[in-house]
Each structure stands twice: as structure tokens, then as C-alpha cells.
Structure 1
Amino acid sequence: MQTPRFFRLVCAGALILATAPVHTALASGGQPASSDRRPEYPAHSLAGAYLAAKSAQLAGDLSTATQYYSQALSLDPKAEELQQDALFAFLADGRFEEGVELASKLRNSSEASKVARITLGVDALRHGEFDRAIKEFDIPNLSDLDALLLGHLSAWAEVGAGHVDEAMKRLDGLKGVAWYPIFNDYQRGLMAAYAERQGVARQALSRVLNDETGARTSADAYLAAAEALARIEARSGNRDAAIAALDKGLALSSDYDPLVRLRERINAGETIEPPIANVRQGVAETLYILGQAVNRGEGQQVALLYFQLAHAAAPADSLLLVALAGIAERSERLDLAISYYSKIPEDSALRRTADLQMGLDLWYSKKKDEAKEHLNQALKRYPRNLQAHLALADVLSADKDYQGAAKILDEAVKLIKGDSRSSWNVYYQRGIAYERQGKWDKAEPNFKKALELVPNQPQVLNYLGYSWVDMNRNLKEGLEMIRKAVELRPNDGYIIDSLGWAYYRMGRYDESVEQLERAILLNPADPTINDHLGDAYWQVGRKREARFQWQRALSGDPKPEAKDAQRIAAKISKGLDQASNDARSNQPPANTPAGGAATATTPDKPSGDKPAQPDK
């Protein structure tokens, strides 16, 4: 079985912010909230509206949740517990003005005071009320992350008020935590550049770029520092120094579009904008950079809050729009993700990323024809871009148009310069496209080239190793490749299934059962693994269990393809031996295993990887 190669956008669990517990006792009566949006199915009571809001929130549907919260608030605008839950939901859904209205009521709340005051402070900065912002950010008993965030926001408020020296003193006071320096130096560089203190800015940003450990702390801050320093140098006429700064960033992420685009503009002699044009942009950058630092696992809840606050300060910021789209994708709100991408300006360095990811999101939204058309147009717009080729090839392969995918990937290989490790996936995908057309003489060299670039790439080891075993070639080497892949990915049920099925193909049924039972524990609903385990059980005499696994293969979700479902049903009805004999007499398809179970097909979803951007 070949390993599924697509990247699932769906993250485990619902995307929700840390709200207060559900409260069952709420008083009724009061005035309506500010929003006039109404849910599709209005609740008929306060309890109904509240429970509907919580249910939608737990499901990650923040838009519906906020509509029900608005209805609940219209019934009881004074219930503090309700206001707290609604505040988090409104902010997470980007309804900042309504969040500000609630924050003003919760400023002294024991549960929501911190978030309320941060919201009010950001609102003050948006309106140029810098002294008020500083007062709101003066919050006691802070965590290390909160202390850094509020220290930076307060420093930007000082800059806005014209107190640059006070801003620098605030940054000086943020110390004692090992991971603070890169964030402090980056913000110092931005503030100094904005205040026309270019010497201070150069020193601070250079410290970021000269500290490789900082890049591991925050790749986003490191790349942003490279861009900021390059802009300062370019505006001062120091082209070589600007290119040197960009080179440091590109050494970390060679295809990072903001740096690639800036380099092109500097070489073309264009006028380069400053790193920060106003305090609002500085505030947004603070929230964005720290949001990216925690944007993983449970930290995504905090990151979403930071991103939405930043979006309120700088709604046209392209990096923020991409970040918000990414979180929307992980919570399966693909239409929302597409709407964020569509707002990215045409002249933005991230427009290409947006165009390609929109095409993938259209595919995941089951708009397959629209996705293919969108990505075809993107390829015409970016004919020399490797990621544009890969995105289109991805959806063509997922649509089982392997001939079309191979054609696109042939063109993609021509764009590769040298033997870059990062290009292994191009050869891997092209190998799959040729293998699926039955052109093994063209497929095999691509898999070998991918392994030449990245010798221990588990997906390639698994695919090539299994293919050899399936064709009864290079059995010892192929089996060792699959074992190595399992060693590298011990919790990958699909790769373990390949090992189990390789043992099956070699007649080592007891070992096959052992590995396939491991695989089914990791991927209990996969129809191919259930089918394989059923065959292995049959061969070791566990025929009742075999039929149970085949039935699971048919009844689970996802469903097997129609031709596979027919074959599995025959095994349930007649047993493996008779079904295999019938299949052989009816001219079985090429490469069908002796036991009658077809090898796995490439999944009908593209990889979904964001094109050429650092891990956010």
C-alpha cells in the first residue's frame, strides 16, 4: 500500500478560546446588544440562545456562536458570565467593535479583566489615545508572555506619544527570560527606524541576524528583522548591505516571498518603503510576531486572539491575513479562509501564496472544477514558479489525472536549480504520477532521485520499497526500505500497513497479522487497512475475524471505491479463496495481490501544504 501524501487541514478538536465555564443560571431582561445579525434558527429563550452559542463555539463555528451570543445578550445584557463568554467569541470572530463594547463592561471583572483591558488598550492605540493605552496595559501579575506583549505595546504607545527614550527604557526593563532578546531587539529596531534613529535600528536588527539561536526561537522575527534591515539599508542607498541582510534571511527560508520580492525590487532600483509606517502597524506587528510564536497546539487559541487584535489595528496586513486564513483552514472554515486570502492586495508579495492556497481550499471545499481552473490561471500568472506547478499537479493527481500531473511535473523539474534537498518532493510526486500510469521505467528513477536528495525520506522509502515488493523485485532491499520507513515513522499507520502487506505478499502471514494489527490501531477507519487485515486473518485461519474486518472496510468512513467495495463484498459472501479464483478467471487488474486485495490508491485530496512559506 502506498502512503497517503496529502496534508490534512483539519486539526484535532474544535478551535475555541479559553472561555469561562458554562453557567446554567442566568437572569433575564435588558436591552439588545449592538449587533443586528440574527442566527438562521433563532432560539426562543435565554437558555436556548446561550446553549446554542456554546455548542457552536465548541464546534468551531464562531460566526454562528456570536450570532447566538448577540441574541442572548439582547435578552440579558447585564449577566457577567454571559458577557465574558461573548467577549472571547466576538474577538475570536473578528467582531472587534462589539468586543470593545463588552470589554468596557468587563474591565474590572475577576475573570476577564486582562483580556478586556488589552482590548481597550489596542482600541486606544487605534485612535491615537496613547496615554489611555498605557494605563490600560498597566496590569499586575503577568505571565512571561503577557509581560512581553504588554511591554511592547506600551513601548509603542510611548513612541506614538513622542516619548522614544521612554519606549527604549521599557524595552530595557524586559529581561530575565531566555527567549526575550530576539523579540526585544526586533521591536527596538522597528521603533528606532520609525523614530529616524537608524544607527540604533541597525544595531538592534543586526543582533537578531547575528544570533542563530534566535532563529530557532522565532523564525518569523528573524525573517522580519532581515526584511526590516534590508529596507533601512536600501532607503539609505546601501544596496550591498541590503542584499546581505536579505541573504541571511533567505539562508533560513530560501523561498520566503516577502524577501524574494524585496530583493527583486531593490535590484530593480525601486523606491523601498520603511519597515513601519505608523504606530498602528507597529502594534499589529507586535501582536503578529508573538502570536506566531505560540501558534501551535493549544496555543492556537491565544494566537487567534492576538491575530484578530492585530487585524483590528492593521486590517490590510498581508501576513496577518495569511495567518488568519491558516487558522480558519485548520478549523475547516474554508470559505472564511478563502475570504481572507481574497483580501490580500494584488501588489502584495504574498499574493502568490494566496492564489495557490485558495485553489487548494476550493478543492477541499469540493469545488473541484473551480479549483482546477483557479490553479490553471495561477500557473499562467506565475509560469516560472515551482510551487504553482506543484499545486496544480497536486489536484490533478488527487483527481486521478496522472497524465496531466506528470506533464506539469515535467515542467516543474526544469525549474529546479541544482540538487536542492527541498526539491525531493517534485521527483517523488512525478514518480507517483508515472507509476499510476503503469510507466515504471519512468517512475523508478524519480523515486531514486528523491532518495538521492533526502536518503531517509520515509514516504519515498515506503513507496519505492513497497512497489518493489509488490512487483516481486529487489525483495530484500525493498523490505528493508519499508522497515526503515517504519523506524522513522513508528506511529504512521499507513507505512506500518505497507510493511504488513509486504509480509503478506511474501507469504509471511503471521508477521503480516502482527503489523496490520498495529496499523489498524492507528487508523481504525481506513478501508484499505481493514481489507488487508481481513485477508491476513483469513490466511492464518481466523476466518470469522476476517469477515468482520472486511465488513468494517465496507461500512466505515471513508468508504472504499466502488470496484474495491465489490471485491470486498465478494470475499464476505464467498470467502477469500473462492473470490480470488473468480477474480482470476475474470481477468484481474494489473498488480492485484494474490490474496485478492487491491493495492491502495492515491487519496483524492491534494497535499494542502502552504506554498513556499515558513512554518507559521
Structure 2
Amino acid sequence: MDTSRISRIALSATLAASMLAIGAAGAQAKPTKPAPVVVSKGPIEVNSLSGAYLAAKQARENRQPDVAAQYYEKALSLDPTSETLQQEAMFAYLADGRFAEGVKLAAKLANNEDVGKVAHIALGLDALRASRFDAAISQLKLDDTSDLDTLLVGHLSAWAELGAGRSKDALARVNALSGASWFAVFNQYQTGLLAGLSGNLPAARTALNSVISDQASAQTSVDAFLASAEALGRLEARAGKKADALAAIDKGLELAPGYDPLTQLRAEVEAGKKVAPPIENAQDGAAETLYILGQAINRGDGQDVALLYFQFAKAVSPTVDPKLLTAMAGVADRTQQIDLALSYYEQIPKTSPYRRTAELQMGLDLWQADRKDDAKTHLRKAVSDYPNDLQAHLAFADILSADKSFAEAVPLLDRALELAPKDSSTLWNIHFQRGIAFERLKQWDKAEPEFKKALELSPDQPQVLNYLGYSWVDMNRNLDEGLQMIRTAVDLRPNDGYIIDSLGWAYYRLGRYPDAVEQLERAILLTPADPTINDHLGDAYWRVGRTREARFQWNRALIGEPKPEPNVVETIKRKLAEGLGPEAPTKPGEVAPDTDAQRAANEAPAAVRPN
């Protein structure tokens, strides 16, 4: 069998599966897709203004706010009067959590046309956290605001009103906020918190129930929906209304079964324990506003603003909420700042309902940071600590499979199947991962039924279609069906260079070399640096007589990413010197012979494909 190609598909599928490995410890605390790790380096010593400024700009573009802040600090020491430097440094300081330093610059820039709004918000939050509530309200009076700004400063001002003892004015401020249709869910949630903290339980119940009684609210903000269920559950439990508390909590669990904060709260209510209130004070309320709105925009281009909101929330509240740390760790994960992400996860208390997700994500992060032994030790302990936790078993199995420790992964996947609900959307993936493990262990009689079961449960999974279809073609079995499976996978993922490579290489194995060239040329356009695709295209070119182009592709394979393993390098060098040997025909049911040693020796890991 073509172990090069199958091993490549296996590792791609295994690492991609880590996206499915961890369920919501919070609905928004999802595992991050494995990505190439950027090792953050501290600032290099610079002694010129231009050098410090350019280095700071580069660090900002690289989304390294800590490094950027240090370079801006150096630049300001060389030119403390530059307003441009002050503006950019203010953002860098605030994004890095250097709130006090950011506020000092904000005081100088409050009237600046470009950054005045952010400066006033920072000053308002500084006043609010110091319980100077009227000063906060004054700073938060902004003109010409966007919808998001209007909602943010309106809610923050409401919390300042409540802090000043004016609960009616606080509720009136939120009630007066109008604008986009999506305001409603955020306004109702904040009303529920404000009313609850001020002791107006009827108003709190009405507002929070209005959120959780409409599942459409979750389409606007799943965070606000789940937080409303939790807040109402806490209010009712503290009021002695156990049944109503459980009903509110269950509304949230209908949306996100297994959501750790709600499952832990439910257990506390069931046991009759005294539960904490949703919000302790005005500062906590302001932090919650910033967190909820930050999560609403925490994707794509909004990620930088979300991080700013999270840092504001961290600064304004006397206590740091674990869910805020989880969100900040998630941003660090997505920007490939692995060490920073780990530092946030480590701050989450052991007793927090967010700790389980933190533990599992830390294991995946350690793996991506190439601390593989630490990752395995960490996830092995997680499985021991959470013996009945499906996600812990899947996360550890994924890591072991990526490490080619398939024999150790199989019992974890067996246990995962026992733990998974029969209607779980992850069942197909568990069968798929078991199929990969069995195939890698050369137990095809066990692997094939797993792939078929995965497709039975979820027929249109391109990874499974690709894997099973290619395996059949590679073994010279079920050729028509296998080839059709790969074609279907390509139709489902028309821009996936790796799957198109499968189709091209399947044609190659079938001796359809012109078709192989056509598909492999498509694949190389989508994934130009991948060494395996370059190598495959080189082989196909050779078979159609394009020998000069073949050698060009083999040379490219030697410098591609990830680097080929040493035995593969030797094989490619041999092909460069000698070309390919003659073809050897096969009979139906026979495994196609490995005409070059690479087909038997190459176990190079695949690049992680985008999902």
C-alpha cells in the first residue's frame, strides 16, 4: 500500500479532528485549531526612534501586543511629545493589559479626533473601577457613535448609575437604548443583571426569561443566552425557588448540553448549596458588559477589538472571571501566542467550571508548541482526572494518533464510543479515528467497517470519503466506487489541495497519467509548497514524458514545508539522478507495487489542512 499517501491522509485527518475533540466547557470556549506555532520573542534592543517605531508597528501587525508595547515604550522615551506615538502606544498598552499606562496617555488624547472615543472609554472605566461613578458617566458621554459604541457606553453608564445608587436611572438608560435589532438580547440580559443586583426580582425575572424563552436569542449571542440562563438560575436558587432555578438552567442546557458552568450550577442547586449571585457589584457588571459584547465580535477582523474589551473587563473588575481568562486564552491561541495562552489557562482556578476545557486545551497547546512529552503527560492526567469525560479521551487519542502511537489510541477511542451519547454528532468522527488507527496498525479487516460506519452516520464527510476511497484505489479494490468517493470529496472540498492531490494520485496509481497530471497541477496551485504534492506531480510528469518538469517538481519537494524526512529526501535525490523505473502492471485485488522506495518508506507528516 502507498504508505506515504495514506500516512499523510491519516495525520491530516487526525490533527483536523482536534477541532472536534473538546466540547464546550463553555459554548465559546472551544478548542483552537492546531496551527503552526509562532514562537514569541521579546523585543530586540533598538536605540533609534525609527527602529523602535518600525519594530512596534511590525509587532502590532504580528498581533504581539506585549512586544509592541515595549517597543512603543522605547519610542516614547526617545520622543515623548509625538502625538502619533502616543496614540499608537495607548492602543498597544491597553491591548497588552497595561491599563494604568494606557489611561495616562488617554488623559492626553481625550480631545483627539482620531482616538478620543477610546480614550474617553478608558477614562470612564478608570473612574468606574475607582467608584467615581459620576465621573465615569461624564467620560462616557460620546457623540457620533456606532451601534456597538452606543450599546457599550449605554450599558457601562447604566452600571455607573447603579453604582451611584440610582437603580431606576440605570434601568431607564438601558430601556432607552434603541438601534439595531440585535440590541434586544443584550439589553434584556443587562436589565436582568441590573434589576437583580438592585433587588428588583420581578423585573430581573421578566428580562432574563425574555432571553431564554426565545431560542432565536442564541443566534444573536449564545453567550448572552447561556449567561441569562445561569443568572436566572442563580437568582431563583437564592430566592429559594429550586424548581424555577432548575428550569432556567435546563433551558441553557437544551442549547448546550454538557456546558460546564451550567452543569456545575445545576449540581449545586440540586444539592441545596448556597450559590453565588450573578453579579456582586457595579464593577463586575461593567466587566460582564465588556465580556459579552467582546465575545459577540470575537472573530475575524473584530478579534483585536474583542481583545481590547477583554483587557478593559480585566482592568475594571476587582476579580478576574475565569470565563474572561478563557476568552483571552482563546484569542492568544488563534494568534498563535501559545505561551501567553498557556499562562491564561494556568490562572483558571482548579474549582472553576472552565478548568476542564483549560486542561484539555493546554494539552493541545503543549503539543503545538512541540512539547510533545509534556502534552502527552498532561492529557494522560486529564483522562485520569476526568475518567468519564468524552472530550478528554478524544483529545488524548488525537495527540497519540498524531504521534503515530495508534495502539495506545485505540483503547481511548473504544472508551470514547462507550461515553458518547447515541445521538452524538461526534460519533462518525470517533469511528473515523478508530478506522485510521486500525489501518495504520495494518488491521484493514477492522479499519474498513469503521470507515463504512462513519459514512453511514454522516455520508458527506469529505475526509472519510477521501480516506476510504483512496485506500481502496491504493489496494486495487473497489476501484470504481473508490474513485467516485474521492471525486465526491473533491466536489465537497473543491479548494482543498490535499484532497485534490488524493484524486490525482489515485489516477496515477491506476495508470491514468494524463488525468493524474491535470489534478495534481490543480492541487499544486492550491498548495504550492507542499513537498508530497510536488513529489507526486514530479512522478506524474515523468510518466507522461515531461522529464525536465518532473525534476523541477522533485527539486521543489526537497525545499517544501514541512521538510521531507531523511529517507524521503534520499529517495527524491535518487529519482533526480536516475528517474523512475518501468511500470509494473497489477491484477485486480493486488496492491500496486511500490515502484520507488518512497512509496514504502515515506512516513512524513502531512500539513494540517484548513477546515
Query: Is the TM-score greater than 0.5?
Result: yes
1:293 aligns with 2:296: yes
Cα distance between partner residues in 2 of 1:214 and 1:449: 36
- Go from structure 1 to structure 2 and tell me whether the alpha carbon gap of 1:475 and 1:244 turns closer, same or farther (over 3 Å shift): farther
Give 1:211 deviation, angstroms.
Answer: 2.0
Alpha-carbon distance in 2 for matches of 1:13, 1:111: 35
Amino acid at match of 2:150: A
In the alignment, the residues of structure 2 paired with residue 484 and residue 40 of structure 1 have an alpha-carbon distance, to the nearest angstrom, of: 49
The structure whose RCO (Cα within 8 Å, separation 6+) is larger is 2
Is this contact kept in 1: 2:571–2:596, CA < 8 A? no
For the 8 Å contact 1:530–1:549, the answer to whether it is kept is yes
Q: Is the 8 A contact 1:398 1:602 kept in 2?
A: no
Aligned to 2:226: 223
Contact 1:535 1:597 in 2 (8 A): no
Secondary structure (helix, strand or coil) at the match of 1:598 reads: helix
Question: Residue 577 of structure 1 aligns to a residue in which SS?
Answer: coil
Distance 2:610 2:330 in 1: 11
**Unaligned ranges ≥5, structure 1:** 15-37, 585-589, 610-616
Q: Helix, strand or coil for the counterpart of 2:476?
A: coil
Determine if the alignment matches structure 1 residue 460 to structure 2 residue 464. yes
Structure 2 contact 35–608 (Cα < 8 Å) conserved: no
Moved more, 590-599 or 412-421: 590-599
Tell me, yes or no, if structure 1 residue 266 matches structure 2 residue 269.
Answer: yes
Cα gap change, 1:555 to 1:602, in 2 (>3 Å): closer
Mean CA deviation greater in 547-556 or 465-474: 465-474
- Read off the aligned partner of 2:434 and give its amino acid letter: R
Over 3 Å counting, the alpha-carbon distance change for 1:282 and 1:423 in structure 2 is farther
Q: What residue is the counterpart of 1:104 in the other structure?
A: 107
What does residue 331 of structure 2 align with?
327
Distance change in 2, residues 1:598/1:258 (3 Å): farther
Report what 1:549 is aligned to.
Answer: 553
Q: Kindly state the Cα deviation for residue 265 of structure 1 after the two structures are TM-superposed.
A: 2.2
1:288 and 1:320 in contact (8 A); partners too: yes
Residue 31 (structure 1) aligns with: none
Amino acid at match of 1:241: D
The change in CA–CA distance for 1:253 and 1:104 in structure 2 (over 3 A counts) is same
Q: Indicate whether 1:154 and 2:187 are aligned.
A: no
Match of 1:73 in 2: 76
Change (3 A) 1:594 1:56: same
Tell me, yes or no, if the aligned pair for 1:360 and 1:608 is still in contact at 8 Å: no
- Is 1:439 paired with 2:443? yes
Distance 1:159 1:294, change over 3 A: same
Query: Is the counterpart of residue 127 in structure 1 residue 118 in structure 2?
Result: no
Instruction: Say whether 1:342 aligns with 2:352.
Output: no
Q: Which residue of 2 aligns with 1:18?
A: none
Counterpart secondary structure, 1:151:
helix
Q: CA contact under 8 A between 2:106 and 2:122: conserved in structure 1?
A: yes
Deviation at 1:603, TM superposition (A): 3.8
Contact 1:318 1:345 in 2 (8 A): yes
TM-score, length-normalised on structure 2? 0.89
Contact 1:398/1:606, CA 8 A, preserved across alignment: no
Q: CA 1:125 to 1:141, structure 2 compared with 1: closer, same or farther past 3 Å?
A: same
2:92 aligned to which of 89, 93, 96: 89
Which of 476, 479, 482 aligns to 1:478? It is 482
| Cα distance in 1 for residues equivalent to 2:184 and 2:61 | 37
User: Is 1:564 the equivalent of 2:568?
Assistant: yes
Q: Which residue of 2 aligns with 1:202?
A: 205
Cα pair distance change 1:471/1:345, threshold 3 Å: same
Local SS of the residue matching 1:212: coil
Measured against aligned partners, the alpha-carbon deviations of 1:370-422 in whole angstroms (never above 9, x if no partner) come to 11111111111111111111111111111111111112212222212323223
Q: 1:361 aligns with which of 346, 365, 371?
A: 365
- 1:488 equivalenced with 2:492 (yes/no): yes
- Shift in Å, 1:246: 2.4
Q: Once the 2 structures are TM-superposed, how far is the Cα of residue 270 of structure 1 from its aligned partner?
A: 2.0
Deviations 1:262-292 (A, max 9, x none): 2222223222111111212211111111111
Alignment check: 8 A CA contact 2:43 2:71 kept: no
Would you say 1:248 and 2:251 are equivalent positions?
yes
In the alignment, the residues of structure 1 paired with residue 249 and residue 486 of structure 2 have an alpha-carbon distance, to the nearest angstrom, of 41
AA of the residue aligned to 2:542: W
Structure 1 residues 606 and 228: CA distance shift in structure 2, 3 A? farther
Q: CA deviation at 1:197?
A: 1.4
Q: When the two structures are superposed, what TM-score results if normalisation uses the length of structure 1?
A: 0.89
Q: For 1:241 and 1:568, how far apart are their aligned partners in 2? A: 69
Partners in 1 of 2:593 and 2:268 — Cα distance?
A: 55
Alignment match, 1:511: 515
Question: Using the alignment, how far apart are the partners of 2:315 and 2:604 within structure 1?
Answer: 42
SS in 1 for 2:216: helix
**AA aligned opposite 1:321:** L
In the alignment, structure 1 residue 598 sits paired with structure 2 residue 599: yes
Distance 1:606 1:409, change over 3 A: farther
1:168-183 map, 5 Å = 168-183=171-186
Aligned runs of 1:4-153 on 2, under 5 Å? 4-5=12-13, 6-7=15-16, 9=33, 41-153=44-156
Which range is displaced more, 257-266 or 388-397?
Answer: 257-266
Match of 1:283 among 286, 302, 310: 286
1:166 is aligned to 2:169 = yes
Give the 3 Å change call, closer, same or farther, for CA 130–489 of structure 1 in structure 2: same
Q: Which runs of 5+ in 2 are unaligned?
A: 17-31
Q: Which amino acid aligns with 1:577?
A: G
Task: Identify the residue that residue 30 of structure 1 maps to in structure 2.
Answer: none
State the 1:205 CA deviation. 1.4
- On the 8 A contact 2:188/2:210 being kept in 1, the answer is yes
Displacement of 1:605 after TM fit?
8.6
Q: CA deviation at 1:84?
A: 0.5
In structure 2, distance between residues paired with 1:168 and 1:180: 15
* Cα displacement (A) at 1:363: 1.1
